[in-house]
Structure 1
Amino acid sequence: MKTLCIEGWRGVNHSIAMVNQNQILEMVKDPRFQLFHRDAPFFMPHWDRSKLDSGFSPEERAVIDGLPDPGERVMDTCLRIASPVRLTHPSLARRHLTFVVTEFGLSGKSFDPPELQPSAFTQGEDQVITPTRWSKARLVEYGFDPDKVEVVPHGYKTDTFFPMTEEQRQQARAALNIRPEETVFTNVGVATWNKGIDLLLLAFAELRLSGLPVRLILKDHQGLYGISVERVFAEMAARAPQLGLPVVRDGIAVLSTSLNLPQIRSLYALSDAYVSPYRAEGFNLPVLEAMGCGTHVIVSGGGATDDFTPPELCHRLFTRPGTPADAPQPVGGAFVVPDLEDLRESMLQVVEKRLPPPARREAARQRLAQRFSWAQVTRQLLDLC
């Protein structure tokens, strides 16, 4: 039995911590490994488990929190999964795997200390793992050896994220006072520029002002990043005053509390489409989870989600490569610019129910579950250990 120590985040709902925790729940089932865990410092000191709940069941939390600290024991492998990327405890493992993910690209701020070079993470048999080809391309641009960077995708909890019955779906919609004729669009991403929430708001406002019965549900992440959806509204008010009209604002609901995993599943499943017109993503886990619930997704083409979005379950927006003139401030890396008209048209297709037949969609969803379950992708990761 090999020893494996994870140096990472757990207990909070940040995406990196969620990946680590889901992987742990699968790793403990593999008889090849004896697992240990050393907590890495959180990116922001104010992150609090009691306020940023990761949403797992008490039984799952017990498993995640129950991994022992290795102390000074030398491990066969150390898996680092936190940000910024650090060379923590290099002498306490014979081999290291380091998780590195990026949206736009890497900079000195991605590392601690900033002067760390890519070669420091790929000495000998050490390797770097990243979840998409998009992210790998950004790592290679920064100077990582492409032969030392392995793409291991993220997965989703297939025992949590699966379709509702039609009766359950109607009950969930009724609980939120959603009328049968209304089309519901959802996005649970943080309201940063790369997520494209501003584009979603513009397209939604156009549909709403045309008289269509559409609703939009957004998730606020004030507790995690100190960034609120209301800030996006305020910043856009000058150039898009239509967003402040009552007919538009009345169609938008902002969820401000933490949701457990069954509640997130309910949100995906009751929605008619999950919309993510992002400019840059390292992976975009909610898109995968929403498709697992059988929900149609609208995503930017040419980015990270190209790795896992089958045409039966998604519409890939037309995009073009971004330029410095497209960004409100320098981003220092690559991004795409989604076509706003294509976004509006793809949302209209959902309203008019112009989607692939249900049988094709369900077959694609089942293939997705087989390929991207946490069990499957974590096995790929452990095979590298």
Structure 2
Amino acid sequence: MNGSAASKTLCIEGWRGINHSIGMVNQNQILEWLKLPGWQLYHRDAPYFLPHWSRSSLSAGFSAEEQALIDAVPPPPEGQLLDGCYRIASPIRLGRPGSARRTGTFVVTEVGDLAFEPEPLDTDLLTQGDDFVVTPSHWARERLVERGFKAEAIRVVPHGYKTDVFQPLSPAERLEARQRVGIAAHEIVLCNVGVSTWNKGVELAVLGYVQLRSEGFPVRLILKDHKGLYGLGVERVMGELMQREPLLQRADIQAGILVISSSLNLHQLRSLYGLADAYVSPYRAEGFNLPVLEAMGCGTWVIVTGGGATDDFVPPALGHRLASRPGRLANAPAGQGRFMAPEVEDLVQALRTVAEGRVPRGPEQEAARQALAERYNWGRVTAELAALF
């Protein structure tokens, strides 16, 4: 990043230093934006969404060198009219009047709900003149249009992933990663790193695991929850499931579940994806679902809900899209909007395919993984974002 008369000036208003998904997207984009020629980058830190969030407890997990580069981006000079402003935080706020010639606002939704400040906010205020909204999937775009956003002012720019980190483990690395968490070579590992909210469908992954374990398959389930971010662990999900699924009360089935609540750095996440035989995400609604992309980068087979956000980027060679149908609001918790209902029988069958060792692994899968890295690396998608300004 070289400041010069020819440079475009941009201020990002977002989160740094924490591992919330929006903060991770922002920080990865900063690292790549710094490499783009012709830009002078500034950053204004937005308030964290919850008061207990902190760098010490929710570290973003970058290397010290990368975090130093991110943190070194300075605030904009007071009173200077910038070429662009990009807001990427929650709740969604209006920018400072007259601070930039063009403003882009990151807006993502899973089921259609959004947080604004102040509330309510006229969505047209985000797309006045040349201002626009960025969202990461066509699913999210459709929900925004339903909420009243101008379709012509919405730009779909996908998330990317760190292709220098999320790569397949070598056989030796995989064996070592499994040994660290007490998993035998013959065991089949399913994993999920989603928040324990209804729309993520974590309980469906648990129920699928229970079915296979009860049939005698040597399956294990690893759940990485987000207790540090939201105070939502999987204990509540397990407690509710035990009331309706007696098999979950069996000691041998409980013994196969490993819950991780602590923050993981990027290389630890890679190990988690890489030691697993499948990443399982039978979600009902997602704005994008970045862990699915990272898992595929590690060569891990993914099982995802068909008809949702992951349709944008999960190819048949790298995963299974679960049969699904539009969800009925009568079957959803209060306050839920549009969602998909994945077919549980298809989920169980997909998991059985994994447990029986019938997941395809060969040149076609490796070619698809390399194509994924070419399309969804952070450098490429950040360049797409920069082109909007």
Residue 372 (str. 1) matches residue 376 (str. 2): yes
* 337-346 or 168-177: bigger deviation: 168-177
SS in 1 for 2:243: coil
- Residues 40-82 of structure 1 show CA distances to partners (whole Å, capped at 9, x for unaligned) of 1111111011000110000000011001011422211000000
- Residues 159-209 of structure 1 show CA distances to partners (whole Å, capped at 9, x for unaligned) of 000011112212211222211111000001111111101111111001111
Residue 103 (str. 1) matches residue 110 (str. 2): yes
Counterpart of 1:349? 353
CA distance, structure 1, for counterparts of residue 363 and residue 185 of structure 2? 22
Counterpart of 2:4? none
Deviation at 1:117, TM superposition (A): 1.2
Q: How many residues align?
A: 382
- Residues 131-163 of structure 1 show CA distances to partners (whole Å, capped at 9, x for unaligned) of 000000001111111111000000000000001
Deviation at 1:356, TM superposition (A): 2.3
Counterpart of 2:299? 294
RMSD of equivalent CA atoms = 1.0
Residue 218 (str. 1) matches residue 185 (str. 2): no
Stretches (4+) displaced over 3 A: none
CA distance, structure 2, for counterparts of residue 59 and residue 260 of structure 1? 14
Structure 1 residues 250-329: aligned runs within 5 Å: 250-329=255-334
Deviation at 1:244, TM superposition (A): 2.0
- Residues 225-283 of structure 1 show CA distances to partners (whole Å, capped at 9, x for unaligned) of 01011111112221122212111110000012111100000110111000000000000
5+ residue gaps in structure 1? none
Match of 2:62 among 33, 56, 60: 56
CA distance, structure 2, for counterparts of residue 239 and residue 171 of structure 1? 37
Counterpart of 1:133? 138
- Residues 330-378 of structure 1 show CA distances to partners (whole Å, capped at 9, x for unaligned) of 31x2100111111111011011121224111100000000000000100
CA distance, structure 1, for counterparts of residue 8 and residue 217 of structure 2? 58
Paired residue type of 2:99: L
Query: Does the C-alpha gap of structure 1 residues 317 and 71 become closer, same or farther in structure 2, counting only changes over 3 Å?
Result: same
SS in 2 for 1:4: strand
CA contact (8 A) 1:209 1:247 kept: no
Q: TM-score, normalised by structure 1?
A: 0.98
CA distance, structure 2, for counterparts of residue 172 and residue 226 of structure 1? 27
Counterpart of 1:196? 201
Counterpart of 1:148? 153
Counterpart of 1:92? 99
Counterpart of 2:186? 181
CA contact (8 A) 2:228 2:263 kept: no
SS in 1 for 2:270: helix
SS in 1 for 2:168: coil
Deviation at 1:220, TM superposition (A): 2.4
Deviation at 1:116, TM superposition (A): 1.2
Counterpart of 1:340? 344
CA contact (8 A) 1:324 1:330 kept: no
SS in 2 for 1:37: strand
SS in 1 for 2:98: helix
Match of 1:19 among 25, 48, 58: 25
Paired residue type of 2:110: E
- Residues 263-312 of structure 1 show CA distances to partners (whole Å, capped at 9, x for unaligned) of 00011011100000000000000000000000000000000000000100
Paired residue type of 1:45: P
CA distance, structure 2, for counterparts of residue 293 and residue 14 of structure 1? 21
Paired residue type of 2:104: L
Paired residue type of 2:233: S
CA distance, structure 2, for counterparts of residue 71 and residue 249 of structure 1? 56
Residue 67 (str. 1) matches residue 73 (str. 2): yes
CA distance, structure 2, for counterparts of residue 75 and residue 210 of structure 1? 62
CA distance, structure 2, for counterparts of residue 365 and residue 326 of structure 1? 37
CA contact (8 A) 1:106 1:139 kept: no
Paired residue type of 2:220: R
CA distance, structure 2, for counterparts of residue 247 and residue 330 of structure 1? 37
- Residues 74-121 of structure 1 show CA distances to partners (whole Å, capped at 9, x for unaligned) of 2110000001110031321111000000000035xx211112111101
Match of 1:30 among 36, 50, 67: 36
Paired residue type of 2:142: A
CA distance, structure 1, for counterparts of residue 332 and residue 295 of structure 2? 28
Q: Identity percentage over the alignment?
A: 58
SS in 2 for 1:59: helix
Residue 77 (str. 1) matches residue 84 (str. 2): yes
CA contact (8 A) 2:201 2:283 kept: yes
